[in-house]
């Protein structure tokens, strides 16, 4: 039963990977020049002549190039990317001209190279020259929707249940994903994509919680970690569809169809017993447990009444001590900075979250600009994640969380530096180095959820993971702007990622190892785990006892997230 629920849920995670990276081909800016007023009779580019501009694109090598065209009325025009010049003296058709020219804006539109892509959103709405900034906002606005969607739907899932949110967000991915293809202008395109980002992010966050609450403890680490792998498969599908379909709105429809099978069957998924119990819907929880028992052929299924009686006994025994200390105290973000030890830990963890997300998307988004076949590049960048998470699971249980995180962060920084020294003609070597960089940053990004949960005590654990998750999303918003810095210096994105990864790796050395250690329950215990004599000045609740502590250990140690 759990296996069916798991694979049905993570199948839809592929659509999240699809929509997150769809813009790498949908918003491509091909070679272009200004349009001209009239019919062309001949075209000249350096020493090559042709009867149409389409024959010239194969010779285009730089944005600084221009094309000379002669119209049927005898006028000769020089076509640049963002302007055009009319020669005052049009006797001979030559490429070099020293005479007087009149400069005009591109009032007749633009001519685009359609040898690779028949249509993109850039060519659809002329997002070039003074409108180029609109094209560069496509991915950042999507990532902003990812940030907002995760916050909104995460809260709704706690209030209304995981099942309803999974229904709504999966249907929303299909509806909004298809609607993107039929938008009538740039602004409606961005708005619909923003809504698509919200439901995609909401699904990914809630689906992780959903499968975590169904999968057993022994498989929880691997199952949770490999939701990332299905996200990576979505990236591979983007590369495949991009290779086969070269018109952006058809490409978007094909990508959205991938969500349809799940939309048709997601209504069959049950609500999680954990949420039903938290809402005191005991009869509904018992029905789900009985269904699980029937599927798994368990002769003596668990009884909700027995679980409730054990929980009440634990609560009663926990309250036999000091009533004042057992009262619930609300905690806020300042508790993550209650002393120097915890504050330094928080800053380091936030930096790792930010760096992991930044590096993940910089390597992914820039893969299409590495040279060679851009579709194969993106496919390989997605495929390299599949073994990455297997290595992460094995290493963090054998070597430890910190001892795995440090070398892979530093390795990713070294790879960023190495790529800068590889000659640009060695395309295969550059692609392999970028794959290695994505692999190393992926390992670090994959295990930071579990490590964060283990570094903080019970009373602020959710707050710590949630705040780190927000830093992760900030990194995903910044990543597209970082990639655009290639126009300033081709290695600028790698330099920034390398510096952040190196700094994160060095600071991680000061974090405590958590492998094999019990989860802490108070800020005092968490501080002592860092071998610091300082403690928080506030009074913290006592540790839970008996089965309650065992339950915290059971569900806390294995928790790994999928917040892309």
Burial 254-286 (b: 16+ CB within 10 A, else e): bbbebbeebbeebeebbbbbbbbbeeebeebbb
Neighbours of 296 (CB within 10 A): 11
Burial 122-134 (b: 16+ CB within 10 A, else e): bbbbbbbeeeeeb
Instruction: Dig out the tokens for 128 from the structure.
Output: 């070039």
The secondary structure of residue 41, as a DSSP letter, is: E
Neighbours of 145 (CB within 10 A): 23
Residue 31 to residue 112: CA distance in whole angstroms:
6
For 334-529, which CATH class? Answer: mainly alpha
- Give bridge partners of residue 78 from the DSSP assignment: 68, 85
pLDDT in tens, 134-155: 999 998 999 899 888 877 887 7
pLDDT in tens, 310-352: 555 544 454 444 444 434 456 677 878 888 888 888 999 999 9
- Asked if pLDDT for residue 19 goes beyond 80, the answer is yes
pLDDT in tens, 425-470: 888 899 999 999 999 998 888 888 778 878 888 677 767 777 787 8
Q: Is residue 379 a contact partner of residue 485, using CB atoms and an 8 Å limit?
A: no
pLDDT in tens, 397-424: 888 888 999 999 999 999 999 999 988 8
Instruction: Tell me how many degrees the CA angle 510-343-538 measures, rounded to the nearest 5.
Output: 125
Residue 98 to residue 275: CA distance in whole angstroms:
77
Phi, psi (5° rounding) for residue 115? -70, -30
Instruction: For domain 1-23+117-269, say whether CATH 3.30.420.40 is its number.
Output: no
Confidence at residue 51, expressed as pLDDT on a 0 to 100 scale: 66
Instruction: Dig out the tokens for 196 from the structure.
Output: 């698509």
**With helix as H, strand as E and coil as C, how does 442-467 read?**
HHHHHHHHHHHHHHCCHHHHHHHHHH
pLDDT, averaged across the chain: 81
Under the banding of pLDDT at 50, 70 and 90, the label for residue 531 is low
Residue-range domain boundaries for the chain: 1-23+117-269, 32-115, 334-529
pLDDT in tens, 206-261: 887 788 778 766 776 777 778 888 889 999 999 999 999 989 999 999 999 887 88
Residue 228 CB partners (closer than 8 Å, separation 6+): 385, 389, 442, 446, 562, 564
The pairing of beta strand 84-87 with beta strand 110-112: unpaired
Q: Residue 492 belongs to what H/E stretch?
A: helix 492-508
Secondary structure (3-state) at 104 = strand
What is the Cβ-side half-sphere exposure of residue 152, based on CA atoms within 13 angstroms? 15
- Asked whether the domain spanning 334-529 has the same topology as the one spanning 1-23+117-269, the reply is yes
Under the banding of pLDDT at 50, 70 and 90, the label for residue 5 is confident
Neighbours of 200 (CB within 10 A): 33
């Amino acid at each position: 039963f759990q296996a069916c629920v798991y694979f049905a849920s993570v199948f839809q995670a592929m659509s999240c990977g699809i929509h997150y990276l769809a813009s790498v081909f949908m918003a491509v800016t091909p070679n272009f020049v200004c349009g001209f007023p009239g019919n062309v009779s001949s075209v000249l580019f350096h020493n090559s002549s042709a009867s149409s501009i389409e024959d010239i694109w194969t010779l285009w090598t730089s944005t600084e190039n221009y094309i000379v065209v002669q119209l049927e009325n005898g006028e000769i025009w020089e076509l640049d990317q963002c302007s055009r010049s009319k020669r005052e003296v049009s006797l001979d058709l030559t490429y070099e001209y020293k005479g007087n020219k009149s400069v005009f804006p591109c009032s007749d539109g633009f001519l685009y190279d359609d040898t690779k892509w028949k249509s993109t959103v850039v060519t659809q709405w002329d997002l070039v020259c003074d409108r180029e900034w609109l094209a560069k906002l496509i991915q950042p606005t999507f990532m902003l929707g990812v940030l907002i969607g995760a916050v909104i739907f995460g809260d709704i899932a706690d209030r209304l249940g995981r099942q309803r949110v999974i229904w709504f967000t999966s249907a929303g991915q299909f509806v909004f994903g298809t609607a993107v293809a039929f938008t009538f202008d740039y602004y409606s395109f961005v708005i619909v994509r923003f809504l698509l980002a919200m439901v995609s992010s909401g699904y990914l966050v809630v689906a992780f919680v959903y499968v975590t609450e169904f999968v057993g403890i022994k498989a929880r680490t691997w199952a949770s970690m490999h939701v990332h792998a299905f996200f990576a498969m979505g990236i591979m599908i983007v590369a495949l569809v991009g290779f086969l379909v070269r018109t952006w709105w058809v490409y978007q429809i094909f990508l959205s169809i991938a969500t349809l099978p799940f939309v048709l069957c997601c209504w069959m998924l049950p609500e999680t017993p954990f949420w039903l119990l938290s809402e005191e819907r005991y009869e509904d929880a018992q029905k789900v447990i009985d269904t699980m028992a029937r599927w798994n052929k368990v002769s003596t299924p668990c009884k909700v009444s027995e679980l409730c009686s054990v929980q009440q006994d634990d609560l009663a025994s926990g309250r036999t001590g000091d009533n004042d200390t057992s009262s619930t105290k609300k905690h806020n973000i300042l508790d993550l900075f209650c002393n120097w030890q915890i504050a330094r830990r928080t800053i380091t963890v936030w930096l790792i979250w930010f760096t992991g997300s930044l590096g993940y998307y910089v390597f992914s988004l820039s893969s299409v600009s590495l040279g060679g076949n851009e579709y194969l590049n993106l496919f390989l960048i997605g495929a390299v994640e599949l073994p990455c998470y297997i290595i992460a699971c094995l290493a963090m249980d054998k070597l430890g969380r910190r001892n795995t995180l440090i070398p892979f962060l530093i390795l990713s920084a070294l790879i960023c530096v190495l790529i800068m020294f590889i000659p640009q003609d060695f395309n295969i070597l550059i692609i392999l180095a970028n794959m290695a960089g994505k692999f190393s940053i992926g390992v670090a990004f994959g295990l930071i959820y579990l490590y964060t949960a283990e570094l903080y005590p019970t009373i602020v654990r959710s707050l710590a993971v949630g705040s780190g998750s927000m830093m992760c999303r900030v990194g995903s918003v910044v990543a597209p702007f970082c990639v655009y810095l290639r126009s300033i210096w081709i290695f600028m994105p790698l330099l920034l990622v390398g510096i952040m990864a190196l700094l994160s790796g060095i600071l991680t050395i000061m974090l405590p190892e958590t492998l094999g250690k019990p989860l802490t329950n108070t800020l005092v215990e968490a501080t002592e785990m860092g071998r610091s004599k300082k403690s928080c000045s506030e009074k913290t609740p006592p540790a839970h006892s008996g089965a309650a502590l065992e339950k915290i250990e059971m569900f806390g140690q294995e928790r790994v997230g999928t917040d892309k």
